[in-house]
Amino acid sequence: MRILIVEDEPKTAEYLHQGLSENCYVVDCAATGLEGLHLIRQQDYDLVILDVNLPELDGWEVLRQIRQQGNTRVMMLTARGRLEDKVRGLDLGADDYLVKPFEFPEFLARVRSLLRRSEQIPVPDVLKVADLELDTGRHRAFRAGQRIDLTTKEFALLHLLMRRTGEVLSRTQIIALVWDMNFDCDTNVVEVAIRRLRAKVDDPFPERLIHTLRGVGYVLEARS
């Protein structure tokens, strides 16, 4: 799940980023309304956490434009706790409205509730491609019944490739979704990770599942 925080107070943004990241969400941050809209147009988000008092473009206008573009879930998170502000936010299309200060457990419970409501297709606990299995609940991988030991990043990378089996993923997409960072054309972190993952998932077995499309990206699929 990918979440965008649009918040101009650095301490609040960092607090939310750390808490959500520790709960296994991929999190981006924007400090202005315009920056938030730019990221929303470039990336699909499962949830946007939106302050009202933002520089350049306030949260009301950001919310209006989000609703013009689609149905992304939006939680207003603001110090403006008057009834008329809450009603305005909900009338403009916010899915939830939480007033600062807040307790993080309540915030996290609301995030989970909104994300459950936005889920369209349930993701199975065990993903399978050919004889490769990934048990997401127990955080284990198997091929041909043989247990494969993976690091946290290797597991995240394999999970991404298997969730989107048959779909070619670019280096930009992979580094954003697995490493949660902006793409740097000079880094070879994706190539190194793919090479290490192949050494465990493909090399000991007769059929290769991870394929490279030169100049395009990587795909995991059974081709035989």
Distance from C-alpha of 211 to C-alpha of 24, rounded to nearest angstrom: 27
Give me the residue spans of the domains in the chain: 2-118, 126-220
Distance from C-alpha of 115 to C-alpha of 10, rounded to nearest angstrom: 25
Residues of the chain with pLDDT under 50: 121, 182-183, 185
Q: Which CATH architecture has domain 2-118?
A: 3-Layer(aba) Sandwich (3.40)
| CATH class in words for 126-220 | mainly alpha
Distance from C-alpha of 25 to C-alpha of 204, rounded to nearest angstrom: 32
pLDDT in tens, 85-131: 888 888 888 999 999 988 898 899 889 888 887 655 455 678 999 99
* Full-model pTM: 0.54
Asked if residue 12 lies in contact with residue 29, where contact means CB atoms within 8 angstroms, the answer is no
**DSSP code at position 169:** B
Question: Residue 121, exposed/middle/buried by CB under 10 A (0-12, 13-18, 19+)?
Answer: exposed
Distance from C-alpha of 122 to C-alpha of 9, rounded to nearest angstrom: 35
Asked if residue 26 lies in contact with residue 50, where contact means CB atoms within 8 angstroms, the answer is no
